[in-house]
Chains A and B, each alone.
Chain A
C-alpha cells in the first residue's frame, strides 16, 4: 500500500488567498483525521471523519477552515481566506475501524502564508 498521500507537499501563498489541502487515506481505512503542527501548539487534531461523515470538528480553529470528505478515498481541508498565522504543517492520518486509535500519518503539507 502507498500509505496516506497528501498534496501538495509544500504550499506558499499570500494572505487572503484560498488554500486547499488534499488527502488520500489508506485504502479500506474507515477513519480520517486532519492535524495541524506548529512550534507553539504542537500537534492538534482539527477534525475527523468516520465513513466520510465528520464526527468531531471541535478542533477547527474558526470558520475560515472547512473540511470535506466526498468519498472514502479523498478529503480536503480548505482555508479561506488564509492568514499568516495559519502557517503550519498539516497532517492527514487514517485508521481502521478495528483499531481506530492506531493512526497512520501522511507526509504532511507545509503551508506558508505570507
Chain B
C-alpha cells in the first residue's frame, strides 16, 4: 500500500518569507498527486493537483508544486507567504492501479504553517 510522508509537522515563517513543504510518497507506479489546505476551523480545499504533463504545477493563491519522479516527491512552494496562508497543508496521493481502492486518496499527516505578521 502507498504511504505519504510530510516531514515537517509545524513550520513557522514571517510574512514575505519563502515556503517549501516537503512531501514524499512510496509507490512505484503511476500516481496522481494533490495538495489540500485546511484553514483554521474549515474543511479541506484543493490547492493544486498533478496528473500528467508538466511536472511544475501552479495552483491557487500563488502556490506551486513540483513533481520529481526520481525522488518520489511533490513539494509545495510559495515565494512569499502571507499571514492569511496560516493553515494546515496536506499532501495526498492516488495510486493508479486496478481493483478496489484504486480511487482512494492516501493523505500525509499534514504540516501546520504559522505565518507571523
Chain A interface (Cβ < 8 Å from any Cβ of B): 31, 33, 42-45, 48, 50, 55-56, 58, 91, 93, 95, 100-108
**7 new A-B pairs (CB below 8 Å) besides A100-B103, A102-B49, A107-B43?**
A33-B104, A42-B109, A43-B110, A45-B106, A91-B44, A104-B46, A106-B43
Interface string of B85-110 (1 = CB under 8 A from A): 00000100010000011011111111
- Considering the complex, give the chain B residue whose CB is closest to the CB of A39: B109
The verdict on B70 contacting chain A, using a C-beta distance below 8 Å, is no
Report 6 cross-chain contacts, Cβ distance below 8 Å, ordered by A residue.
Answer: A42-B90, A42-B107, A55-B100, A58-B101, A95-B103, A105-B44
A108–B51 Cα distance when bound, in Å, is 27
A interface: dominant SS: strand
* CB proximity of B8 to chain A, nearest CB, Å: 14
* CB proximity of A61 to chain B, nearest CB, Å: 16
| B110–A101 CB distance below 8 A | no
B107 contacts which of A43, A95, A108 (Cβ < 8 Å)? A43
Q: How many A-B residue pairs have CB under 8 A?
A: 51
| B104–A48 CB distance below 8 A | yes
Q: Given A58-B101, A100-B103, A102-B49, does the pair A42, B110 have CB atoms closer than 8 Å?
A: yes
A43–B38 Cα distance when bound, in Å, is 12
CB-CB under 8 A from B103, the residues of chain A are 31, 48, 50, 55, 95, 100-101
A56 contacts which of B94, B104, B107 (Cβ < 8 Å)? B104
Going nearest first, the 7 A-B pairs with the smallest beta carbon separation are A43-B107, A101-B94, A42-B109, A105-B44, A100-B103, A107-B43, A56-B100
| B104–A91 CB distance below 8 A | no
* CB proximity of A45 to chain B, nearest CB, Å: 5
| B100–A107 CB distance below 8 A | no
